[in-house]
Structure formats: structure tokens, C-alpha cells
Structure 1
């Protein structure tokens, strides 16, 4: 009799664990998938925007004018190496490849000395742009 009671209790426990475990895990997995698909939320996959702009070799020529609306150029399909400083008048002072600089809408300068940031002409352009001396 004792053996029958133990077997019955064990069978009930196993039946409860098996059916409860299967139901909750399969419903939970389906429920999660269904909610994601039905909710209209975007997937976790992200896309990187493709950079746009003119070729750097076409823009950055000493003596040429940097377009007023210039934002970036591309070198081998990637944004070119540049540093930007916002100016007080709304323009931008752009240094390209540590070799050339210009204020948007202004003449592109290639100083004879290097680094260009140490030249008097760049210092004057930077001061005029930022108001710093």
C-alpha cells in the first residue's frame, strides 16, 4: 500500500511538472514571437547610413573656394579626415587632413609650414572665426 501511495504521488508530480513546464515554455516562446511580429515594432537589425558628399580631391584644392554649404567630402567611399570649428558668424572653419583649411564660403589655404595650426595665418583665421585671441 505504501508503495502504491509513493508511485501515485510521484506520477502526479511528474505529470504536473511535465505539462506545466511544456505549456509555459512553449506558450511563452510563441507568445513572445507573436507579440514582436504583431506589435509592428521594428526589428533589432540596424542599418548604417551611407555617407554622401563630393570626392575630397575635387573639393580640397589650394586657392579654390570651399562651398558655403560644405559638410563633408568622401575619400575612398568614407568621410574624409577633417576637423570642424563653428564660427561666430554661422560659418565653419574646416581643417582637411591637417594640410589645408578654409572657412565655408572662403578660400582654401595650404600653409607652407607644418603643422598648419602653428602658422600665423591659421591663428588669424581661427581668431576671426571664434573671437578668441
Structure 2
């Protein structure tokens, strides 16, 4: 959508620019995915010129609650390794203690990209 607005030379409101930037930022994995192109960055520049509040969006998506912090602390203190695999076990007792669902435990990628561990 941002590309259509850019190519069509539409005037984009700050609110629309925020929503478009939010989509780009999250779809690109916060610009960490390898296939994030120069075109993507050009469109972000276009949205920035339209007064998208990049800082506000980035800050709010990066916020961590106290509950999340406690969970991360547990994971980093209790992970296990075997060969090139790093993992953690989130038992029902741990889920209850840390107020997490099994789904929330399964979505963790904080053990990714740790040197010497190819599988997490």
C-alpha cells in the first residue's frame, strides 16, 4: 500500500503513515530479514516525510513488561543444551508460576542466534 501511495504521489496523512510504517516494520521483522530491500527503506523514508512517528512505534513495540522480563530471566537461567541444540522446558508448574500459557512459552525466539547453537 505504501508503494501504491508513493507511485501515485498521494498525500499520506500522519495517521495513515503510522499504520503503513507499522506494517512494514513488523512484516520485515524490524528490518532484520535478509530480503528487506532498498525499496523498503525508500518507502520508510517516504512515510517518515509524511510524519510517521517511527520512534514512537519502535519504542512501543520494543517495550517489555515486568512479567515478560521475569519470563526471559527464567529462560536464560534454565535453558538446556545438547550438541548444537539449545532449548528450555516450560512445564505446567513453570507456566503457572510465571503466568504464561503453553502458547506463550512456545513462541519464544530469545534463544535464537546464539553462537554454536544451530537449533533452538
TM-score normalised by length of structure 1: 0.19
Q: Which has the higher contact order (CA 8 A, sep 6+)?
A: 2
Structure number having the greater strand percentage: 1
TM-score normalised by length of structure 2: 0.20
